[in-house]
Amino acid sequence: MDLLHIGRILLEKLGYRVIAATSPHEAIDVVKERGRELSLLITDMIMPGMSGIDLIKKVKECAPQVRFILSSGYGVGPLRGDKEMEFLEKPYTIETLAAKIKKVLGKV
């Protein structure tokens, strides 16, 4: 089972409706098609073809209401001061993921 599938299962277990994308370019296509439905994007810092930060910049252009969680095992660096984005350090538990989502969506 791959990480994308596991992530989807965890998020659905927490009660969220999930649209999973297998690449940054697929995620952008989803945002272009369904952007109004979206409230949160969770992405990795390092992905094939595009960084998580570049993906976030592109998504902001199409769907400015979307909030973001950027995950990495390499540290927080470029996120300091961005109020639309939170950092989630790997590895994380379902509890820390749930808490971060609630914080980002303003439910804390």
pLDDT in tens, 11-29: 999 999 999 999 999 999 9
**Is residue 43 within 8 Å of residue 58, measured between CB atoms?**
no
Helices (H), 1-108: 3-13, 24-34, 52-62, 94-104
Question: Is residue 27 included in any domain, yes or no?
Answer: yes
Region 34-39 average pLDDT: 94
> Which pLDDT does position 82 carry in this prediction?
63
Question: Is residue 6 included in any domain, yes or no?
Answer: no
Question: Is residue 89 included in any domain, yes or no?
Answer: yes
Region 45-53 average pLDDT: 91
Question: Is residue 10 included in any domain, yes or no?
Answer: no
Domain span holding position 69: 20-104
Summarised one tens digit per residue, pLDDT across range 72-98 is 887 765 555 566 678 898 888 999 999
Question: Is residue 9 included in any domain, yes or no?
Answer: no
Question: Is residue 8 included in any domain, yes or no?
Answer: no
Confidence band for 6, pLDDT divided at 50, 70 and 90: confident
Tell how many helices (H) and how many strands (E) occur in the chain.
Answer: 4, 3
Q: How many domains does the chain have?
A: 1
Q: Write down the pTM of the prediction.
A: 0.88
Domain of residue 50, CATH code: 3.40.50.2300
